């Protein structure tokens, strides 16, 4: 019994377990279905919400597109209205132009009618004039007794004469214009070259002074019975002037080199204190050697400064001697260096060889270093020296012709002469005060105008030339030539001057007619 009860218990418990399991499964299924329905419901609600959002976005996009389209339409409408206004304006302009054209056409038609009437009138008058000319021509033939061919021949001959005169006048005007243009160009080149070069001018004296410590030294220089000063003057070839001027002794000589040797030697003697003939001879010889060395150095430095190379040793020595030569108190070596630079600048401005021009300018006054040793003017002496020492033809010709002693056939000679005039002729380049310069020029002009028959006189080129204008009513060509010679002789008698003064007499007649 008990086993049956146990089995019944087992079966009941098993049935309860199975029923519980089935019930539990159904409950789970019901929960799942409920959950699924909830998920579906939520999904549907989300779908509906998204659908509404999509509809709202679509409506917003549609409204935005609509507003853009409306804006574009408004812009297009405005453009169309603007074009309509422009077309209206153009139409108004065209209408006004059309009305103006109509008025102009009417005016042209009126003018054409008037021109046609005037042409008809002119043709009628021309025919009347032709008839009158025929009558006059026949009358002239009858009165002159010339045929048409003869009258034509005379008319052509007269026309040839008039044309020849007109041609000559045109040639003269062209030559005058060309001369003025060349003169202006030459002045421009000179001004440009002088402006590009600036040089300092040093005035030199023709005498030298030597300072002495006391007047007692003057007696020692003179020596017993004057033997020291005689020995010094004999060795140096200068004049020693000892006067009452305190503290100085003056050395005077026409030879600047000797004067320099004497000045240096005298300074050495005073410093040494031993002054006697033997010591004088020794110091003078020693100083001569020093000065010769200085001369060579000055020549080499001048050539190097200008950039001229390959000069003969003798030419360099002569060039250095110019350091001790003066003209109107202007140092000739510095003058030559300035002329060299200005000549080179002129040549470069005109397209010529600047190096050759500077060489010619540097050596143009080389004859002044030896003019006391030879006969003739310094241009000829310099040309002979340069030719002897192997300089080329251009440099020789420039030295010979820079003062117009010969016809300047080479352009370098003309440029050298122009540069020489620029350096030497202007006031201030030489040791002259402005008052003294003006006074000398006025003296020249006053002497020239003092002669009968002289209308005006002009001193030019720092007094190297005087141009005299003759009065044509009071003089003839022959008397003008005599007055020119008399003026030159008056300059020789009344004035003291270096070099030469050229007197140029100008006499001309001018007649002026006015055609009205």
More confident residue, 77 or 27: 77
What band does 203 get if pLDDT is binned at 50, 70 and 90?
Answer: very low
- pLDDT digits 0-9 by tens, 282-332: 888 888 888 888 888 888 888 888 888 888 888 888 888 888 877 766 788
Does the pLDDT at position 485 exceed 80?
A: yes
Least reliable range by pLDDT among 120-129, 186-195, 412-421, 487-496: 186-195
Q: Is the pLDDT of residue 191 over 80?
A: no
Digit-coded pLDDT (tens) for 192-202: 555 445 454 44
Model pLDDT, residue 347: 84
Confidence category of residue 420, pLDDT binned at 50, 70, 90: confident
Concatenating the DSSP letter of every residue in 61-121 gives: HHHHHHHHHHHHHHHHHHHHHHHHHHHHHHHHHHHHHHHHHHHHHHHHHHHHHHHHHHHHH
For residues 443-461, average pLDDT: 88
pTM: 0.47
Asked whether the predicted pLDDT for residue 85 surpasses 50, the reply is: yes
More confident residue, 8 or 502: 502
For 442-468, letters b (16+ CB in 10 Å) and e give ebbbebbeebebbeebebeebbbbbbb
Backbone phi, psi, residue 97, to 5°: -65, -40
Identify any residues that bridge with 241 across adjacent strands, giving them in sequence order.
250
Check: CB of residue 333 under 8 Å from CB of residue 256: no
Q: Shortest CA distance to 345 belongs to which of 192, 198, 200? A: 192
């Amino acid at each position: 019994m008990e086993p049956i009860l146990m089995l019944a218990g087992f079966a009941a418990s098993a049935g309860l377990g199975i029923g519980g399991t089935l019930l539990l499964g159904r409950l789970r299924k019901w929960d799942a279905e409920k959950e699924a329905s909830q998920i579906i419901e939520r999904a549907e609600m989300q779908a509906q919400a998204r659908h509404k959002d999509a509809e709202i976005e679509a409506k917003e996009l549609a409204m935005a597109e609509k507003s853009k389209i409306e804006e574009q339409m408004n812009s297009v409408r405005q453009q169309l209205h603007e074009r309509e206004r422009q077309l209206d304006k153009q139409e108004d302009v065209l209408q006004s132009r059309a009305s103006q054209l109509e008025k102009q056409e009417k005016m042209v038609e009126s003018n054409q009618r008037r021109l046609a009437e005037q042409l008809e009138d002119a043709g009628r008058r021309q025919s009347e004039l032709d008839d009158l000319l025929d009558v006059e021509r026949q009358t002239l033939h009858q009165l002159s007794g010339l045929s048409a061919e003869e009258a034509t021949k005379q008319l052509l001959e007269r026309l040839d004469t008039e044309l020849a005169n007109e041609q000559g006048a045109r040639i003269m005007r062209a030559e005058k214009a060309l001369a003025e243009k060349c003169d202006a160009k030459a002045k421009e080149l000179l001004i440009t070259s002088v402006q590009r070069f600036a040089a300092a001018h040093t005035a030199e004296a023709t005498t030298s002074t030597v300072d002495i410590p006391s007047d007692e030294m003057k007696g020692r220089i003179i020596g017993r019975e004057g033997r020291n000063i005689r020995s010094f003057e004999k060795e140096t070839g200068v004049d020693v002037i000892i006067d009452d001027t305190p503290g100085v002794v003056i050395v005077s000589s026409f030879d600047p080199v000797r004067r320099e040797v004497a000045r240096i030697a005298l300074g050495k003697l005073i410093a040494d204190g031993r002054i006697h003939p033997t010591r004088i001879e020794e110091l003078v010889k020693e100083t001569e050697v020093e000065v010769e060395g200085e001369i060579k150095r000055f020549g080499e430095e001048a050539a190097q400064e200008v950039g001229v190379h390959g000069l003969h040793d003798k030419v360099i020595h002569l060039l250095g001697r110019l350091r001790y030569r003066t003209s109107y108190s202007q140092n000739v070596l510095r003058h030559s260096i300035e002329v060299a630079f200005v000549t080179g600048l002129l040549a470069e401005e005109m397209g010529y060889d600047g190096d050759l021009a500077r060489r010619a300018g540097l050596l143009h006054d080389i004859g002044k270093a030896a003019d006391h040793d030879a006969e003739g003017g310094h241009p000829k002496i310099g040309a002979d020296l340069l030719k002897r020492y192997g300089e080329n033809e251009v440099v020789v010709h420039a030295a010979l012709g820079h003062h117009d002693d010969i016809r300047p056939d080479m352009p370098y000679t003309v440029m050298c002469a122009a540069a020489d005039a620029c350096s030497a002729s202007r006031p201030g380049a030489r040791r002259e005060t402005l008052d003294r310069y003006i006074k000398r020029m006025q003296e020249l002009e006053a002497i020239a105008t003092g002669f009968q028959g002289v209308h005006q006189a002009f001193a030019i080129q720092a007094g190297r030339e005087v141009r005299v204008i003759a009065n044509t009513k009071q003089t003839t060509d022959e008397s003008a030539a005599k007055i020119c010679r008399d003026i030159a002789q008056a300059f020789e008698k009344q004035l003291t001057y270096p070099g030469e003064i050229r007197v140029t007499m100008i006499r001309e007649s001018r007649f002026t007619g006015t055609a009205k």
